[in-house]
Amino acid sequence: MAEAIKVPTMAEYMAEGKKPEVLFWVGCMGSFDDRAKKVTKAFVKLLSKAKVDFAVLGTEESCTGDPAKRSGNEFLFQMQAAANIEVLNGYEIKKIVTACPHCFNTIKNEYPELGGNYEVMHHTQFLKALMEEGKLKVQGGKFKGKRITFHDPCYLGRANNEYEAPRDLLRKLEVELVEMKKCKSKGMCCGAGGGQMFKEPEKGNKDVNIERTEQALETKPDVVAAGCPFCNTMMTDGVKGKNQEDNVEVKDVAEMIAEAEDL
């Protein structure tokens, strides 16, 4: 499986005078974080498998500004937004898919007022659509019958009311889907949002990710399914913190589908 995956860039498409059907917005974590890069690669494999005509921005992509905005640095956020919108509009992008709910929320909800209007989808929504169109097979495989609990990312769930797309995909994998007490609109944050990822937590009696991991472990899962690179990191750390890394995996929904297909 060492073959390099072909990842076309927008610049290459442009040079050939073509436009892809969809832009894959990779995001900072998806580009640089070792754990999240695996999700990026899994998602690209699925896109290739489904013969989706896609491209990435590559070196022309830059942080959406989400952490800046939610830390209160509106100035930096709007600078990032303006620069990104210029690039996106320059390529006449119409449709964007991303595996990061933070990028998803920012581009979908906050860019339009600043001049960036695109159809934006979270990768679980996009994969679900591919599955429904019959372009992607999602079924059984190695996760069949396994106990899986899905941790709702705040910026996909509460922020944008998408609770079912990831769950629909997991059901197609024929897993035993178990819910945590706090799930869907009541789901608890992993602790990374609002800039927390980049700073030490304030004084308290526990870290948020440990609390959330304990809630996940209560369901006795084989896998904690995630849909966000931030959550993925926090939950992975949490599982390690509870010394459960040999028993419980933390995996993105896209990774699970790719693995089920043995990609």
**By CB under 8 A, what part of segment 134-173 binds other proteins?**
154-155, 158-161
Q: How far is the CB of 115 from other proteins (least distance, A)?
A: 10
As a whole number of angstroms, the distance between CA 151 and CA 187 comes to 7
With CB under 8 A as the contact rule, the residue among 123, 128, 167, 212 that binds other proteins is 212
Residue closer to other proteins by CB (options 6, 92) is 6
Residue of 114, 145, 179, 245 interacting with other proteins (CB under 8 A): 114
Of the listed pieces 13-21, 35-43, 88-96, 129-137, which binds other proteins according to CB under 8 A?
A: 35-43
Smallest distance from the beta carbon of 62 to other proteins, in angstroms? 3
Smallest gap from residue 120 Cβ to other proteins (A): 12
Residues 51-80 close enough to bind other proteins by CB under 8 A: 56, 58-59, 61-63, 65, 67-76, 78-80
Q: CB–CB of 85/116 below 8 Å?
A: yes
Amino acid (one-letter) located at 138: V
Nearer to other proteins, 82 or 178 (CB): 82
Q: Which of residues 219-258 bind other proteins (CB under 8 A)?
A: none
How many Cβ atoms from other residues are within 10 Å of residue 112's Cβ? 13
Q: Does 44 bind other proteins (CB under 8 A)?
A: yes
x/- letters, 75..104, toward other proteins (CB under 8 A): xx-xxx-x----------------------
Q: Within positions 186 to 205, which residues make up the interface with other proteins, using CB under 8 A?
A: 186, 188-189, 191-205
> Is the CB of residue 114 less than 8 Å from the CB of residue 125?
no
By C-beta, is 170 or 192 nearer to other proteins?
Answer: 192
- Based on the shown chain and the rule CB under 8 A, indicate whether residue 15 belongs to the binding site for other proteins: no
* 3 is a site residue for other proteins (CB under 8 A): yes
**Closest approach of other proteins to the CB of residue 206, in Å:** 4
Of the candidate spans 27-35, 89-97, 117-125, 239-247, the one that interacts with other proteins by CB under 8 A turns out to be: 27-35
Round to whole Å and give the CA distance between 20 and 91: 10
Compute φ and ψ for 56, nearest 5 degrees.
Answer: -120, 165
3-state secondary structure the chain: CCCCCCCCEHHHHHHCCCCCCEEEECCHHHHHCHHHHHHHHHHHHHHHHCCCCEEECHHHCCCCCHHHHHHCCHHHHHHHHHHHHHHHHHCCCCEEEECCHHHHHHHHHHCHHHCCCCEEEEHHHHHHHHHHCCCCCCCCHHHCCCEEEECCCCCCCCCCCCCHHHHHHHHHCCCEECCCCCCHHHCCCCCCCCCHHHCCCCCCCCCHHHHHHHHHHCCCCCEEEECCHHHHHHHHHHHHHCCCCCCCEEEEHHHHHHHHCCC
Residue among 112 and 145 whose Cβ is closer to other proteins: 112
Q: Measured from the CB atom, is 160 or 236 closer to other proteins?
A: 160
| Residue 128 is a binding residue for other proteins (CB under 8 A) | no
